């Protein structure tokens, strides 16, 4: 029987997720890759074979802009594995113009926050049964620039926005990831499942590829050794594997020496974090979950 730790990760075919997947393979994990493109997974599998030959890699195709598809993939993952040791919610998007998902949500809210919520909720029973287990979610210290938060509005708003406004909305979705993690940590208290999140720092990973001259800027930053994504991938892997974080539930950590961070206002109180959880459940009831 294969005793490798089983790690399920989203957004692993590029950027920080790709580097994290390669490092996790070196560490000895069996990987469950949630991705939209089989071609990109095949390319990643070749890279994994080069750095860690024999690593088992399972593919689960899903479009994270469709929460119904996320739910379907989650059920497929749950049925495929007898246990899950780590779930890494890494996938993210920074959209500079509004795009509406098939479920009627703003794309950034859906991919950055609602998709991790749905996938985690779908796999929660399996994670608890697999304890000790971990849930790691990639957030951003930019959440401190999220401004105000209006839960019902921010979860469902689909109005157009400018490139300047896009930054605030992106950071707000990441603030919700931190709030989600800390509320999840409280809900999982005593189960042996640890929920943590991280700020991966500034990384040249193509997240802002929709901006004019993004490719030129990324190459220039690489040449100046600014925004090295290995540091961002490093904190993801540490939260997933390092025994030092086995009991750090609800923690929010920086890529800079794993320094503990505080959830920014206005999302810091236990009350508003619980309110976000309940508002999210209400928004998703009937869209993804029926009578759950």
Instruction: Tell me the catalytic residues.
Output: 170
CB 63 within 8 A of CB 107: no
Q: Which two tokens stand for residue 217?
A: 């800027």
Burial class for 175, CB neighbours closer than 10 Å (0-12, 13-18, 19+): buried
100-137 in b/e burial notation, b at 16+ Cβ within 10 A?
ebebebbbbbbbbbbbbbbbbbbbbebbeebeebbbbb
> How far, in Å, CA of 129 to CA of 84, rounded?
9
Q: Which two tokens stand for residue 256?
A: 């800079």
> What are the two backbone dihedrals, phi and then psi, of residue 243, each rounded to the nearest 5 degrees?
-55, -25
> What are the two backbone dihedrals, phi and then psi, of residue 189, each rounded to the nearest 5 degrees?
-55, 130
Q: Which two tokens stand for residue 30?
A: 């069996």
């Amino acid at each position: 029987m294969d005793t490798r730790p089983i790690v399920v990760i989203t957004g692993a075919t590029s950027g920080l997720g790709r580097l994290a997947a390669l490092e996790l393979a070196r560490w000895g994990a069996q990987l469950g890759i949630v991705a939209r493109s089989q071609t990109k997974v095949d390319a990643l599998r070749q890279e994994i074979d080069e750095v860690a030959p024999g690593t088992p890699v399972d593919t689960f195709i899903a479009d994270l802009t469709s929460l119904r598809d996320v739910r379907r993939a989650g059920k497929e993952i749950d049925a495929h594995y007898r246990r899950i040791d780590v779930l890494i919610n890494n996938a993210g998007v920074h959209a500079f113009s509004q795009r509406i998902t098939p479920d009627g949500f703003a794309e950034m809210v859906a991919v950055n926050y609602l998709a991790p919520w749905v996938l985690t909720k779908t796999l929660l029973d399996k994670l608890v049964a697999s304890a000790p287990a971990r849930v790691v979610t990639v957030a951003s210290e930019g959440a401190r620039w999220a401004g105000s938060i209006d839960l019902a509005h921010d979860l469902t708003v689909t109005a157009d926005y400018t490139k300047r406004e896009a930054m605030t909305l992106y950071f707000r979705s990441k603030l919700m990831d931190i709030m989600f993690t800390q509320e999840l940590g409280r809900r999982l208290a005593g189960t042996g499942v640890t929920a943590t999140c991280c700020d991966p720092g500034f990384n040249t990973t193509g997240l802002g590829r929709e901006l004019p001259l993004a490719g030129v800027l990324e190459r220039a930053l690489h040449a100046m050794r600014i925004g090295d994504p290995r540091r961002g991938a490093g904190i993801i892997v540490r939260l997933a594997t390092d025994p030092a974080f086995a009991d750090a539930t609800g923690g929010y950590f920086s890529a800079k020496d794993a320094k503990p961070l505080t959830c920014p206002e206005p999302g810091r109180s236990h009350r508003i974090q619980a309110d976000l959880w309940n508002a999210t459940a209400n928004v998703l009831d009937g869209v993804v979950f029926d009578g759950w």
